[in-house]
Structure 1
Amino acid sequence: MKKIHILILKSFIRPFIVTFFIVMFVLLMLFLFKYIDDLIGKGFEWYVILELLAYQSAVQISMAMPLSMLLSSIMTFGNLGESYELVAIKAAGVSLRKAMSPLFILVGLFSGGAFLFSDYILPVVNLKMGSLLYDVRIKQADFLIKPGIFNNTIPGYSIRAKGKSKDGKILYDLMIYDHKSSTTANNVLLAEEGFIYNSPDNNTMILKLKDGVRYEDSRARNARVYNPRQQFTRFYFEETEQKFDMSAFQMKRTDENLFKSHHAMLNLKQLRHYTDSNAIQMDSLRNTVLREIKSYYYYFNDYYKVKDSTIAIGNAITYNQNFTAAIPKEKRTTAISNAMNQVRYIKDVLNLKANEDEFYRNKDILYNVEFQRKFTLAVSCLLLFCIGAPLGAIIRKGGLGLPVVVAIIFFLIYHIISTVSEKSAKEGNIDTFWGMWMAIFILSPLAIFLTYKAATDSALFDIEQYRIKAEKTLNWIKARFGIGNKKATHPSKSLHDDYTLSS
C-alpha cells in the first residue's frame, strides 16, 4: 500500500512542478507584453526589472496554482492509465479512492498553503507590486538624441545633433534652443562637438561643449529699456559646460502608505475592519439625509392664510381641483417660485448624497469580493484537482498532448464563469458571495460525476462505445418504424406470374 502511495505521489509531484513553472512563464510573458511600452526606453536598472518580475510572479500564483493543479492531475492519472498501472492497482484490490488518498492530503496542504498565502503574503506583494508598477509607468523615457531630429524631452530646451558617436557619448554639430525665459528662440547655442555625461547623483546631465558660439537677444530680458548697442549679443567659446536638470527622468519611489487602503492589499482582519468602518460611514450618511431635507417639507399655511371657508372643513383642508386653490391669487406666483426652489435644493442634496452612498457601496462590494477571494483560491485548487484526477483516469492519455487540451478547456470554463460572476458581483447585480463562489458551485457536480465515472471504470471518452450505441439506436428505430424491411419486387418473378395466370 505504501509503495502505491509513493508511486502516485512521485508521479504527481514531477508534472506539477513542471507545469507550474511553465504556466508561470506564460503568465509572465503576458505581463511583459501588456506593459512592454512602459518598460522599454526608460533606462531601468536590471534589479528594478527583476524586482518587478518577482512581485508579478508572486501575484500570478493565484492563477497558476489552480491551472497547474488541473493539468498535472490529468497528466498523472493519464500516464498511469495509459501504462495500465491503474489496472494493476485495482487488480491488487486497491480502489481508486484509496490510491488517491495521499494526493488528497497533499492537495489539501497545497490548498491550506494557498489560503495562508492569499491572506498574509499576497496583500504585501500587491502593495509592493502596485507602488513599483505605478512608479515605473509614470517615469519619463530616457533622454535620447537621434541624429538630425530635435529632442524636446528636457523642459525648456530643444536639442539637435547632426551626428553622434557609436556609444552615444559624443555629439557633433550641436544646436540648442533655450526656451526657459520665453517661448521665442531668443537664446541659441551652436557647437562643433559635445561630450555628454551625468553628475554623480544622476540628477544633472552635463554637456561639455567645444568650439561654439551662443546667440542671445538682450531684449527678451530688458524689453522696457531700449539700448541700441545691446540688442543682440554673441559669445564665442572654445570650451564650456551646459547643465540640464534630469530629476524628472529619475524614478522616484512613491510612499507605500498611499496604497495601503486598497482592497487588494488587505488581509482578512484588515478587510473586516475596513468593512465595519465603511458600514458606519454609510449609516451616518443615510441618517443625515432626512435631517438635511426634513426642514424643507412643510406647507405655507401660516403665511398663506386660507380665506375661502368653503375649502376648509375643521382642521382638514380639501382641494377641489389642485393645491394652488388653497393659496390666494396674489400670492400664488411667490408660492410656486418658493416651492420650485425647495424642490431644486432637495434634488441637489439627494443627488449629492446618492453619489456618496454609491461610492461607499462600491467600496463595500470590493471589500466583500476580496474577502471571499481568500477562500475561493484554496477551494478552487481542490476542486480542479477533483476534476483533473478522475478525468485523467478516464481518458487514459499521458504527455502534453490531449491532457493539455482538455485541461485548458476546463480551466477556461472555470475562468469564464468566475470572471463573469465576479463582474456581476462588482456591478451589484448579484450578491458577492454567489458571485465569487458561482464557478465552484457549478463545477462541483461535474467533479462528483467524473469521480463516480472513474471509480466505476466508465469509458466516458471511448468513441467506439458511442458508435456502437448509435448503431444500436439506429437499428431499434428501423425495427420500430419498419424502415428498410420492405422486399423489392424482382422483374423476372413478375413476368413469370403473368405468364402463369394467362395459361
Structure 2
Amino acid sequence: MKKIDKLVLDAIIGPFLITFLVVVFILLNVNMLKYFDDIIGKGLDYWTLGQLFFHFAVFTVPTAMPLAVLLSSLIAFGNLGEHFELTAIKASGVSLVRVLRPIFFFVLVLTAVAFYANNDLVPKSALEAYSLLYDIKQKKPALDLREGSFYNGINDISIKVNKKFPDGITLKDVIVYDHRKNDGNKEVTIADSGRMQTILNERYLKFELFNGFNYTEGASNEREVIGQKKNRNSETLSRSKFAKTQVVFDLSSFQMDRTDKKWFQSNRIMRNLGQLNGDIDSVRKEILSQRLNHYLYRPSYFNYYFRKDTTIMPPEVYAHKLYRDSINSLPYRDKMMPHDAKPVPPTVEKVEAKDTAKPKVESKPAVKSKVENKAAVKSKEEVAASLKRPPERRRDDKKFALQNVKRKPVRKPAGKSLPKKADAKNVVIAAPPKKKIPMSDSAFQAKVDSVFKSEPTSEVLQGAANMARQVKSQVQNANGSIDNYTTELRIFEIQWHKIFASSFACIAMFLIGAPLGAIIKRGGLGVPFLVSILFFIVYYVLTMQGEKLAKQGSLSIVAGVWMADALLFITGLFFLRQARIDARLFEADFYSVVVDKVKLWFIKKRKGNQSQPV
C-alpha cells in the first residue's frame, strides 16, 4: 500500500466509525420515541431493554450506513482540502480519481457489508424487535400504589393507601376491597398499617397488615347449605379484629409472556431474498389461480345464453392451467414426495413363455372373494331347484323374473336358428324397448315459440334478477381478491429491490460526499453536517415517494425503488466532474461569471436578430 492510499484511508476510517455510531444512536432514539409510552411503567428488566435496543439498532443499519458514508466522505475530503493536502497531492501530478480509488474500494466493502446486514441481520433483528415489542405492549403496567387513590391493577382487587413511606414497603391506613366473588363490596379489610413485598420471583404480592378489622357481609351459612333463597332479612354482617394478618395476591398477569415468532414472520421486513422469492412466486401463482377460476366458472354464470361461447385464455393463464392439471394428475405418492428424492421405478414381473418363438403373456385368472363364490353357488342351487319345480310354477317364476329384471333382448343371428329346447333354460327373453317417436321440426318450433312468446311471471323475473346479482357479486369478489394479491405482490417486490437499493446507496452517497468535500474544502462537523443532512432528506423523500407510487401501481417497481439512487448517482458524477476541473461551485465569483456569460449570450442574440433584414 502506498503512502497516499494510507493517508486517504486514515482520513476516512476514523470519521466513518464515529459518524456511523452517532447516526445509529440518533435513529435509534427517533424510533424508540414512537414506542416510549408502551415501554415506560412496565417494570422491564435491563436484559429485556437491552435486547430491544440492540435489535432496533441493527434494524436502523440500512438507513445509517449511507448517511455515515456521506458524512464521513465530506469530513475527510473537507479536511484534506482545508489543510491544502489535497492541493499538494494534485500538484504532485496525482489526479483526483487516483486519490478516490482506495476509498472507493473501501466503500465497496461497506456495500457488501450493508447487503449482508440487509439480507441476513436486519430480518432477524426486525423479527426479534417487533415480537418483543408486541409482548411488552400486552404486558400490564408494574405495580404502582399511589397515596390517596384506589389501585385496580390486580384482578378483582381494589387497594387504597393513604400514606406510603419512602422505602416503598411500609404503608399507612390500608383499605382492601375483595371483589373476587362478584357480589359487590361485601369483603373489606381495613388496617392501621402494613408492609408490602413481592415473593417467589415476583409472582405473588404479600400484604402484612397490622391492627385492623375484616368485614364480611353475606347470608347465613346454614341457609346456603339447605338451598334456601336469600332475602334481605337473612343477610348477616361479621366483623373480626386482628392484630396481624397476611394477604397474598396472584401477580401472574403482570408477567410478560413471549408470543411464538411464527405469527410475525409473514411481514415483508422480516424476510430475506430467498424467502421473498418464495413469497413472490406463491402470490403470482395465487393470482393466476384466481384468474383461471374466473375463466373456468364463467359457463356456470349463464344457464341458457353464451354457454357454448369460447373465450381464449391469456398465455400465462393457460400455461398455469396446464401446470395445475399436470400437478393434479400426479398420484398422491408423487405429490408428497420431496423434490430431492428420486422416484422408485415400478417393478416388472417376469413372464414365462412356453413357446420361445412366439412368447405369450399368460393372464392370471381373477381371484374371486369368498362372498362372490358363495353367491355363485347359491345361484346355481336356485337354478337347479327351479328346474325341479312343475311347469306351471316355473312359468310364474319366469314372469316374475321378466317383470323385475331388465335384460337385453336376444336377437336371432343371421342364418342361424334359435337354440333348442334343451338349451332354452340358458336364454332369457326380455320385452323390446319402447321406441320414441321423434318430434317434427314444425312441432318443435311451435313448442319453442310458445315458450318464448309467453309472458314471464314474477317468479321468473325475480330468479333472473337474483342470478344476475349473484354473478355480479362473484365477479366483484374475484376482482377484489386479485387486486389484493396484486398489492401484496408489489409490496414483496418492493422489499426485494429495496435490499439491493439501500446497499447501492452507499456508492451513490460516496460519489456525492467525496467530490463535494473536495470542492467545499471545509472540515469539521459544521458545513459537512448541514450538506449531508440536506442530501439525506432528498434521498429519504425520493425513496418514500417512489415506494408509494410503486405500491399504488402508478410507477414500475424498478423505477420507484431505484429512483433515488439513480438521481443521486447522476448528481455524484456531476460533482466528480466539477471537482476534477477545480470548479468553485460554492463561491460567489463562480456564479457571477456564469451570470455574465448568460447576459452576453442574450446580447449577442438580440444584436443578431436586429441585423437581419426585414
Superposed pair shares fold, TM > 0.5: yes
Distance 1:57 1:160 in 2: 42
Q: Which amino acid aligns with 1:204?
A: Y
Tell me the residue number matched to 1:320.
none
Counterpart for residue 303 of structure 2: 298
| Correspondence for 1:207 | 207
Largest Rg, 1 or 2: 2
CA deviations over 1:99-156 (Å, ceiling 9, x no partner): 1111111100110111112112211111111111111122111111110011112121
- Give the 3 Å change call, closer, same or farther, for CA 450–160 of structure 1 in structure 2: same
Q: Which moved more, 1:291-300 or 1:41-50?
A: 291-300
User: Among 419, 444, 451, which residue is 2:544 paired with?
Assistant: 419
What are the Cα deviations for residues 357-413 of structure 1, in whole angstroms up to 9, with x where unaligned?
333223222211111111012100111101111111111111111111111111111
TM-score computed with the length of structure 2 as normaliser: 0.71
From 324, 328, 334, the equivalent of 2:454 is 328
**Whole-angstrom distance in 2 between the partners of 1:376 and 1:481:** 48
Alpha-carbon spacing, 1:480–1:282, altered in 2? closer, same or farther (3 Å): closer
Q: Which aligned pairs between 1:391-410 and structure 2 lie closer than 5 A?
A: 391-410=516-535
Question: Could you tell me how far apart the structure 1 residues matched to 2:603 and 2:473 are?
Answer: 75
Q: CA deviation at 1:290?
A: 4.2
Structure 2 CA distance for partners of 1:314 and 1:25, relative to 1, 3 Å? farther
Partner Cα distance (2:10, 2:166) in 1: 55
Q: Which one of the candidate residues 216, 240, 249 is aligned to 2:245?
A: 240
Determine whether 1:45 maps to 2:45. Answer: yes
State the match for 1:106 in structure 2.
Answer: 106
Asked if 1:91 corresponds to 2:91, the answer is yes
Establish whether residue 266 from structure 1 lines up as the match of residue 391 from structure 2: no
Between the aligned partners of 2:229 and 2:282, the Cα distance in structure 1 is: 62
Cα 1:53/1:215, change in 2 over 3 Å = same
- What corresponds to 2:580 in structure 1? 455
Give, in angstroms, the shift of residue 230 of structure 1.
5.0
Q: Cα distance, 1:184 vs. partner? A: 2.5
- Counterpart CA distance in 1 for 2:288 and 2:180 is 53
Please list the CA deviations of residues 81-102 of structure 1 after superposition, one character each: whole Å capped at 9, or x if unmatched: 1111111111111100011111
2:153 maps to 153
> Map of 1:86-485 to 2, 5 A cutoff?
86-182=86-182, 184-219=184-219, 224-226=229-231, 228=233, 230-292=235-297, 294-299=299-304, 326=452, 328-329=454-455, 331-470=456-595
Q: Which one-letter code corresponds to 1:102 in the other structure?
A: P
Please list the CA deviations of residues 223-280 of structure 1 after superposition, one character each: whole Å capped at 9, or x if unmatched.
8234856522222222222222211211111111222222211111111112212222
What displacement does 1:182 show? 2.1
Amino acid at match of 2:40: I
Amino acid at match of 2:285: I
Greater Cα offset, 151-160 or 466-475: 466-475
Aligned length: 465
* 1:59 counterpart residue number: 59
- Compare 212-221 and 451-460 and name the one that shifted more: 212-221
Q: Find the aligned partners of 1:167 and 1:49 in 2 and give their Cα distance.
A: 25
CA contact (8 A) 1:81 1:396 kept: yes
Query: Which sits farther off after the overlay, 77-86 or 240-249?
Result: 240-249
Q: 1:414 to 1:170 in 2, by over 3 A?
A: same
Residues 61 and 117 of structure 2 are in contact (CA less than 8 Å); yes or no, is this contact kept in structure 1?
no
The DSSP-based 3-state class of the residue aligned with 2:301 is coil
Higher mean displacement: 352-361 or 41-50: 352-361
Over 3 Å counting, the alpha-carbon distance change for 1:288 and 1:81 in structure 2 is same
Q: 2: distance between equivalents of 1:362 and 1:244? A: 50
CA distance in 2, matches of 1:243, 1:342: 66
8 A contact 1:186–1:220 mirrored in 2: no
SS at match of 1:231: strand
Q: 1:478 to 1:121 in 2, by over 3 A?
A: closer
In 1: Cα distance, 2:197 partner to 2:56 partner: 34
Identical aligned residues as a percent: 33
Report if aligned partners of 2:220, 2:235 keep a CA contact under 8 Å in 1.
Answer: no
State the match for 2:4 in structure 1: 4
Question: Are the structure 2 counterparts of residues 280 and 469 from structure 1 closer, same or farther at C-alpha, using a change threshold of 3 Å?
Answer: closer
**Could you report, residue by residue, the CA deviation over 1:9-35 in whole angstroms, capped at 9, with x for unpaired residues?**
100111111111111121122123222
Moved more, 244-253 or 473-482: 473-482
Give distance in 2, aligned partners of 1:419 and 1:389.
25
**Unaligned 5+ residue runs, structure 1?**
302-311, 318-324, 483-503
The verdict on how the C-alpha distance between 1:277 and 1:477 changes in structure 2, with shifts beyond 3 A counting, is: closer
Q: Do 1:135 and 1:251's aligned partners in 2 also have CA atoms closer than 8 Å?
A: yes
When the two chains are superposed, the root-mean-square deviation of aligned CA atoms in Å is 2.8
Q: Equivalents in 1 of 2:12, 2:527: separation in Å?
A: 17
Post-superposition CA distance 1:203-242 (Å, at most 9, x none): 2212122222222221499582348565222222222222
SS at match of 1:26: helix
Unaligned stretches of 5+ residues in structure 2: 307-443, 608-614
Letter in 2 for 1:182: N
Greater alpha carbon shift after TM alignment, 36-45 vs 435-444: 435-444
Deviations along 1:56-94, one digit per CA (max 9) or x if unpaired, are 111111111000101111111111111111111111111
Partner of 1:492: none
SS in 2 for 1:194: strand
Contact 2:219 2:234 in 1 (8 A): no
The Cα shift of 1:282 comes to: 2.4
**TM-score, normalised on structure 1?**
0.86
* Aligned 8 A contact 1:293 1:346 in 2: no
